[in-house]
Amino acid sequence: MKKCIYLIFALLIFSACKNESKKPSEAIQNETEKVEFSIIIHGGAGSIRRDNMSEEREAEYRQKLEEAIRVGYTILKEGGTSLDAVQNTINILEDSPLFNAGKGAVFTHEGFNEHDASIMDGKTLNAGASAGTKTIKNPINLARAVMDNSPHVFLSRGGAETFAKEQGLEIVEPNYFSTTKKLKSLERVKASEKNKVASFYDADLQDSKFGTVGCAALDKHGNLAAGTSTGGMTNKRWGRIGDSPIIGAGTYANNNTCAVSSTGWGEFFIRGMVAYDISALMEYKGLSLKEAAKEVIQNKLPNIGDQGATGGIVAIDKDGNMVMEFNTQGMFRAIMNAKGELYIGMFKD
Ligand code: ASP
C-alpha cells in the first residue's frame, strides 16, 4: 500500500514536471507568430513610362495597387495564410479593368477574352492552374480550387469551366470581361500587323500588351505562396497559353527558397522556366534572391533565342527579403512589410 502511494506521488511529480517543460515550447510558438510577414505584387511590366501616363491615370493605378496589397497585408497581419493573402489580393486586381486579368483582359485574335491563372503553396509544393477559361469571374479562385479540391494540377478550357461550376465558383457572361480599351488595343495590333507585316513576336507591339497581375507573400507561419492571373497577350491565337498558368514559368513557391510571380513575354518565360530558375539558383548555387532574380531577368532572359524577352518578376524569400526585377521600361508594383510600410512603383526610376 505504502509503495503504491509513493508510486502515485512520483507519477504526479513527473506529470507536473512534464507540464512545466511544455511552457518553453509555447513561448517558442508565440515567438514564431512574431516572425515578419511581407507581401509584394505586380500589375504587369512593359512600356510604362512617366512621359506617357497622365497624372489621373497614375493615381488610378496607385489607388488600385494600394487597395489590393492592403487586402493581403490585413490577412497576413491577422495571422492568415500566404495562400489566402495571394488569392484575395489578386481578386482585387482581377476585378479592376485597369489590368490584363479578369475584367479588362486582353482580346484574342478572334475577339474573345481567355484567362490563365496559377497558384502555388511553398510549404507543400501543392499547386493549381487553369488555362483558356472564358466565363470564370476570378480565374485565381479556379486555380486555388484545382489545387485544393481536385487530384490534378492543371485544367483547361471546357473541362476547367465544368469543374468551376461544380465548385460553385462565380460564373459570368463572356462579355463581362470586355473593355473598350482592350478592344482598341486588339484593333491597333491587327492594323499594325497588316501595315508592317509584323508577327506576334514584334517587340514594339508586344511590349505594350502586358498587364498580368501577380502576388507573392510570406505569412507569420513562415510559409511562402505565389499566384499569377492573366488574359495572356493581345491577338493570341489557336488556344495559345502563356507562362502565367505554368508552374515553374509564371509562378513558383518553395519554403526552402522563395515565391515568384512573373510577367512578360510568355513564350520566353516558358522556355527559360523563369520562376523556377530563380528558385533553383538559390537552392543549388546558394545565390541570394536578389542575385538570382538579376541573373535570370537581366542576363538569361534577354539572351533566349534571337529575340530575347522583356518582362519582370516580383519575389519574396523565406526570410522576407523582396525583389522587383524587370528589364522593361516599367512595371506596376507594390510592397508592404510587417511594419505596414508601403512602397508603390511604376517606372524605372
Ligand atoms: N506573361 C503573360 C503571357 O505571356 C503576359 C503578361 O505578363 O502580361 O501570357
- Cell 522556355 maps to which residue? 271
Half-sphere exposure of 98 (CA within 13 A, CB side): 21
More confident call, 27 vs 178: 178
Which amino acid type is present at position 344? Answer: I
Contact assessment for residue 261 and residue 45, using Cβ atoms and an 8 Å cutoff: no
Out of 46-55, 117-126, 284-293, 327-336, pick the least confident.
Answer: 46-55
Q: What is the mean pLDDT of residues 307-318?
A: 91
Distance 267 CA to ligand 1 centre (A): 9
If you measure from the C-alpha of residue 331 to the centroid of ligand 1, how many angstroms do you get, rounded to a whole number?
13
Whether ligand 1 lies within 6 angstroms of the CB of 118 is answered as no
DSSP state for residue 256 in the 8-state scheme: T
Q: What is the pLDDT of residue 28?
A: 28
Dihedral angle, C-alpha 83, 87, 88, 93, nearest 10 °:
140
* pLDDT for res 6: 52
Residue owning the nearest CA to atom 8 of ligand 1 = 210
User: Which residue's CA is the nearest one to ligand 1's atom 4?
Assistant: 266
Is the C-beta atom of 212 inside 6 A of ligand 1? yes
Query: Buried b vs exposed e over 172-189: b needs ≥16 C-beta within 10 Å?
Result: eeeeebbbeebeebbeeb
pLDDT for position 208: 52
- The DSSP output letter for 329 is S
What are the pLDDT digits (tens) for 133-147? 999 999 999 999 999
| Confidence band of 189 (pLDDT split at 50, 70, 90) | confident
116 versus 8: the higher-pLDDT residue is: 116
| Neighbour order of strands in the sheet with 251-253 | 251-253, 258-264, 311-317, 322-326
48-52, 103-107, 132-136, 149-153: lowest mean pLDDT where? Answer: 48-52
Residues contacting residue 246 through CB under 8 Å, at least 6 positions apart? 118, 129, 270
- Does the beta carbon of 100 sit less than 6 angstroms from any atom of ligand 1? yes
| Ligand 1 pocket member 210 (CB < 6 A) | yes
* Mean pLDDT value across the chain: 88
Asked whether the CA dihedral 204, 210, 215, 216 is positive or negative, the reply is negative
Grid coordinates belonging to 232: 495572356
CA–CA separation, 65 vs 49, rounded Å? Answer: 17
Which residue has its alpha carbon closest to ligand 1 atom 9? 232
Respond yes or no: is residue 135 known to be catalytic. Answer: no
Q: In this model, does residue 32 exceed pLDDT 60?
A: no
What's the average model confidence in pLDDT over 63-91? 98
Confidence (pLDDT) at 196: 59
Catalytic residue among 108, 133, 212, 230: 212
Whether pLDDT at 27 is above 60: no
Q: Is 108 in the pocket of ligand 1 (CB under 6 A)?
A: no
The alpha carbon of 27 is separated from its chain's Cα centroid by a whole number of angstroms, namely 33
**79-86: average pLDDT:** 98
- Judged against a pLDDT cut of 90, whether residue 306 lies above it is answered with no
Is the distance from the beta carbon of residue 132 to the nearest atom of ligand 1 less than 6 Å?
Answer: no
Domains, the chain, in order of start with CATH, read: 24-347 (3.60.20.30)
CB 278, CB 292: distance < 8 Å: yes
Is the per-residue pLDDT at 202 higher than 80? no
d(CA 230, CA 110): 17
Mutate which of 133, 201, 208, 212 for ligand 1 pocket (most atoms within 8 A of beta carbon): 212
Contact between 112 and 93 under an 8 Å Cβ cutoff? The reply is: no
pLDDT average, residue stretch 201-223: 77
C-alpha angle 248/307/110, rounded to 5°?
75
Whether the CB-CB separation of 317 and 38 falls below 8 Å is answered with no
- The reported pTM is 0.88
Separation of CA 233 and ligand 1 centre (Å): 6
For residue 39 the three cell numbers come to 507581401
pLDDT confidence of residue 190: 87
The reported pLDDT for the residue numbered 342 is 97
User: Ligand 1 pocket, 207 CB below 6 A?
Assistant: no
Residue 68, classed as helix, strand or coil, is helix
Pocket test for ligand 1, best of 115, 265, 313 (most atoms within 8 A of CB): 265
Q: Which residue has the higher pLDDT, 329 or 224?
A: 224
In whole angstroms, what separates CA 175 from the centre of its chain? 25
Q: Per mean pLDDT, which range of 141-145, 180-184, 185-189 is the poorest?
A: 185-189
CA distances in angstroms from 111 to 35, 103, 114, 154, 175, listed in the order given: 47, 14, 10, 25, 10
